[in-house]
């Protein structure tokens, strides 16, 4: 489960690599003790087919691996061709990390959204951060939000026939003319037809709006909520998140961030819709992201407000989950430590109030000192306040002259999913070296906060990473 002291809006940095001309799955690495290792599959090998089915992409791979008896055609890196027969448990994976996220080329974004985050990052960032994906397969597998503007009729039919559900869809507005303007794509006005197509075929959808003041708020927000609610329960949820703007918006259309008044008005507007929809649907259906409550300086609602917490990965209900989990774990917190311990906690400005309150509760533990280091985002600009976009260099610059703790707690959402690297290519080891202080990477949950602060490493839950392989992600669907 994700974080309370971070959320990232409408952007998900996955370890994509640009595809070469090969169309077969290439093995990047093999997990020790896995079935693939037992079958002597090695890095650089290519999977030609499984049970006679050619592998075009990760979806083909998922269905091919669904059975318990496998016949795998492998082209070895040496050039040899092997035919391997193997039995496996139903839920057992091969234990392979693939060289490319979708096996074939990742489907790229054809839009020019007025609020696109990729357009707002420095030009000297690594290539993968400048890559705009808009791939329905990554929506199905990893929960990425997609706009559907690059889908062909065959893609629509494939999604429906394979029941690739749920999909996460960036709607932003159901006004066709406004959506064309906001997304910069003439095909984007078809969104309601596409949603109707999926709804009629039993595909479940989670939807979102990136709210841009003076663009898709006010009456336009009312229109979008009303239009999408008509498709419930096929459209399962709708989240409203505030637009994020960096200091690198040179040459782009003028946008402004949500003010406190904007945030309060949006919270009130959505609350009115919830009161209207709850008796009809049995659910609130539409929710605002946690950041709206932070901007509005308003209290976070109770857990009952969030229905199923279906969009917690999109920053909806993270703060409430953290606070409730902290209360639940309070009984396991000891009254004192045998060895005194000073801990530093890294957080962004958005969640700082809640993290500071949690730190005060932890200081009831005798011998434990918890310092909260609120990092201003100088790399992207101080209007970017979420923890997940903090860089290594900003951490080093802003804490090096302060009293350093025995260990820093670093929420893992600051790092790549497969390596301990920040968005600015700083590594955790580099931060440790420059600060000359230990760094403990923890899940951004109440469990991670409490057990990390206490130094109870064995009690820490698993870090929020993909299991280093798409296979593992598929197995957890």
pLDDT (0 to 100) of residue 337: 93
**458 vs 123 pLDDT, higher one:** 458
Flag the least confident range among 138-147, 152-161, 181-190, 198-207.
138-147
Domains 27-103 and 118-316 share a fold: no
Strand partners, 145: 168
Give yes or no for residue 417 having a pLDDT over 80: no
Contact predicate 179/188, CB 8 Å: yes
Rounded mean pLDDT, 386-397: 94
Q: Check pLDDT > 50 for residue 68.
A: yes
Contact predicate 229/174, CB 8 Å = no
**What's the whole-number mean pLDDT along residues 290-304?**
95
Mean pLDDT of the chain: 87
Q: Are 206 and 233 in contact (CB under 8 A)?
A: no
- Distances from the Cα of 426 to the Cαs of 7, 263, 391, 412, 422, in angstroms? 20, 34, 8, 14, 5
Model confidence at 475: pLDDT above 60: no
pTM of the model: 0.82
Cβ neighbours of residue 285 closer than 8 Å, sequence gap 6 or more? 229, 232, 237, 238, 273, 274, 277, 307
- pLDDT score of 126: 59
Confidence tier at 61 by pLDDT (50, 70, 90): confident
Instruction: Give the homologous superfamily in CATH for domain 27-103.
Output: PDZ domain (2.30.42.10)
Rounded to an integer, the average pLDDT of 315-335 is 95
Give the alpha-carbon dihedral of 246, 379, 313, 148, to 10 degrees: 50
3-state secondary structure string across the chain: CCCCCCCCCCCCCCCCCCCCCCCCCEEEEECCCCHHHHCCCCCCCEEEEECCEECCCHHHHHHHCCCCEEEEEEECCCCCEEEEEEECCCCCCCCEEECCCECECCCECCCCCCCCCHHHCCCCCCHHHHCCECCHHHHHHHCCEECCCCCCHHHHHHHHHCCCCCEEEECCCCCHHHHHHHHCCHHHHHHHHHHHHHHHCCCCEEEEEEECCCCCCCHHHHHHHHHHHCCCCCEEEEEEEECCCCCCCCCCCCCCCCCHHHHHHHHHHHHHHHHHHHHHHCCCCEEECHHHHHHHCCCCCCHHHHCCCCCHHHCCCHHHHHHHHHHHHHHHCCCEEEEEEEEEEEECCCCHHHHHHHHHHHCCCEEEEEEEEECCCCCCCCCCCCHHHCCHHHHHHHHCCCCCCCEEEEEHHHCCCCCCECCCCCEHHHHHHHHCCEEEEECCCHHHHHHHHHCCHHHCCCCCCCCCCHHHHHHCC
Out of 122-126, 135-139, 399-403, 412-416, the most confident range is 399-403
| Residue 23 pLDDT level (bands cut at 50, 70, 90) | low
Taking the domains of the chain in order of start, what are their residue ranges? 27-103, 118-316, 333-459
Domain 118-316: give its CATH code. 3.80.30
- For residues 168 and 144, the answer to whether their CB atoms sit within 8 Å is yes
Tell me: pLDDT of 447 over 60: yes
The reported pLDDT for the residue numbered 474 is: 32
CA distance 301 to 317: 9
CA distance 145 to 133: 10
Which CATH architecture fits 333-459? 3-Layer(aba) Sandwich (3.40)
Phi, psi of 281 (to 5 degrees): -105, -20
pLDDT at 150: 94
Mean pLDDT check: name the lowest of 273-277, 336-340, 370-374.
Answer: 336-340
pLDDT above 90: percentage of residues in the chain:
66
For 108-162, the pLDDT digits (tens) are 788 899 998 888 877 656 555 556 788 888 888 888 999 999 999 999 999 999 8
């Amino acid at each position: 489960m994700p974080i309370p002291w971070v959320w990232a809006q409408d952007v998900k940095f996955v370890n994509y690599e640009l595809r070469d001309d090969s169309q077969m799955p290439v093995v990047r690495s093999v997990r020790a003790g896995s079935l693939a290792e037992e079958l002597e599959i090695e890095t650089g090998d290519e999977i030609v087919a499984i049970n006679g089915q050619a592998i075009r992409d990760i979806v083909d791979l998922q269905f091919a691996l669904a059975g318990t008896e496998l016949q795998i055609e492998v082209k070895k890196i040496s050039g040899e061709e092997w035919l391997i027969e193997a039995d496996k448990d139903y839920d057992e994976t091969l234990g392979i990390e693939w060289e490319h996220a979708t096996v074939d080329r990742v489907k790229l974004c054809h839009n020019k959204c007025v609020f696109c985050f990729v357009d707002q990052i420095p030009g000297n960032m690594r290539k993968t951060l400048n890559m705009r994906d808009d791939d329905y397969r990554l929506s199905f597998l990893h929960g990425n939000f997609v706009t559907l503007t690059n889908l062909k009729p065959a893609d629509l039919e494939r999604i429906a026939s394979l029941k690739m559900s749920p999909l996460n869809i960036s709607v932003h507005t159901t006004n066709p003319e406004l959506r064309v303007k906001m997304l910069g794509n003439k095909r984007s006005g078809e969104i309601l037809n596409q949603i109707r197509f999926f709804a009629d075929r039993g595909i479940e959808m989670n939807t979102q709006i990136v709210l841009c003041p003076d663009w898709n708020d006010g009456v336009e927000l009312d229109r979008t909520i009303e239009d999408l609610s008509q498709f419930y329960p096929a459209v399962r949820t709708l989240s409203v998140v505030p637009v994020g703007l960096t200091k690198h918006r040179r040459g782009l259309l003028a946008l402004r961030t949500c003010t406190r008044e904007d945030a309060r008005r949006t919270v009130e507007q959505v609350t009115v819709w919830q009161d209207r929809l709850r008796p009809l649907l049995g659910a609130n259906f539409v929710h605002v992201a946690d950041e709206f409550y932070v901007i509005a300086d308003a209290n976070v609602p109770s857990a009952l407000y969030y229905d199923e917490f279906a969009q917690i990965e999109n920053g909806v209900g993270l703060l409430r989950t953290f606070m409730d989990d902290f209360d639940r774990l309070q009984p396991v917190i000891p009254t004192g430590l045998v060895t005194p311990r000073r801990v530093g906690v890294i957080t962004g400005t958005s969640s700082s109030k809640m993290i500071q309150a949690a730190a005060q509760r932890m200081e009831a533990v005798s011998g434990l000192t918890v310092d909260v280091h609120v990092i201003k985002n100088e790399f992207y600009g101080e209007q970017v306040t979420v923890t997940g976009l903090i860089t290594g260099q900003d951490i080093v610059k802003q804490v090096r002259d302060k009293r350093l703790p025995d260990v820093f707690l670093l929420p893992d959402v600051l790092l790549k999913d497969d390596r301990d690297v920040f968005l600015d290519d700083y590594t955790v080891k580099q931060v440790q070296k420059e600060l000359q202080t230990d760094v403990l990477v923890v899940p951004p949950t109440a469990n991670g906060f409490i057990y990390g602060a206490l130094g109870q490493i064995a009690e820490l839950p698993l870090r929020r990473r993909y299991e280093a392989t798409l296979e593992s992600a598929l197995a957890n669907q």
